Amino acid sequence: MTATAEPGGVGAAAAPSKSLPERIIGVLFAPRATYAAVAARPRAFGVLAFIILVGAVGTYIFLSTEVGRNAMIDQQIETMKSFGVQMNDQAISRMEQGADRGKYFGPIFQAISLPIVALIITGIIFAVFNAVLGGDATFKQAFSIVAHSGVVLTVSQLFGLPLAYARERMTSATNLAVFAPFLDENSFAARLLGSIDLIYIWWMISLSIGLGVLYRKRTGPIATSLILVYVALAVVVAAVKTAVSGA
């Protein structure tokens, strides 16, 4: 019996079915074969549940500690300052009083926002690859690819939160600014490097592999396009922060 090719060019017989644990591990160590299996049999609920649960539990544990609460407050203050907003003592006091609620609001925010962000990203991908480039994948397939790529960010969070606890800071330890500590933190260069994170580049490469498999396209051009958009956005954010802080 001849196998019928699924939309997106992935035949069900060509990619063996994988269990949820196999797909989670496969995204990290065998992405091409894993994304082929996901495209052939698109399933997003299980991996989304894993991502939300792991992220929520990790965030709750971290923000339940005094170190985590202080790190969250410091990050909020630094973020406001980077946009030129100076916090007075009353505002900081209110922030400290509400810090205990962060361990509840953080996980809830993640549980709500992650599926929404995944849908938005999928919508953009679907519009570009299907409507503009003439791809034939289904929305369900594209959404499943996007959802599985989130495993990269979740696993990174598992390592990032203990590191944040040790550093007593929530700022990323994998952004490019850590390689240029000699720069003035308020300079455009420092802000630009601080806006580019290696973890997100890894995620974009992983997502590009999945999209390449799904749409039968080379990974390189897709990854390059995504990274260029990411860098362009980082330039805009750095420029805005520099302009506002210098005003």
Question: What pLDDT, on the 0 to 100 scale, is given for residue 7?
Answer: 53
Share of the chain above pLDDT 70, in %: 92
Residue 100 vs residue 212, higher pLDDT: 212
**Residue 199: enclosing H or E segment and its boundaries?**
helix 198-215
What are the tens digits of pLDDT across the range 185-200?
888 999 899 999 999 9
What are the tens digits of pLDDT across the range 224-238?
999 999 999 999 989
- Scored b (16 or more CB within 10 A) or e, 186-207 reads eebebbbbbbbbebbbbbbbbb
Query: Per the structure block, which two tokens stand in for 175?
Result: 């952004």
Torsion of CA 32, 38, 40, 42, to 10 degrees: -160
Distance of CA 150 to the CA centre of its chain: 6
Predicted confidence (pLDDT) at residue 37 exceeds the cutoff of 80 = yes
Average pLDDT over residues 67-71: 86
Question: What pLDDT, on the 0 to 100 scale, is given for residue 28?
Answer: 96
Query: Per the structure block, which two tokens stand in for 202?
Result: 């890894």
Domain boundaries, the chain: 20-246
Distance of CA 50 to the CA centre of its chain: 15
Share of the chain above pLDDT 90, in %: 52
What are the tens digits of pLDDT across the range 130-160?
999 999 999 999 999 999 999 999 988 888 8
Distance of CA 61 to the CA centre of its chain: 20
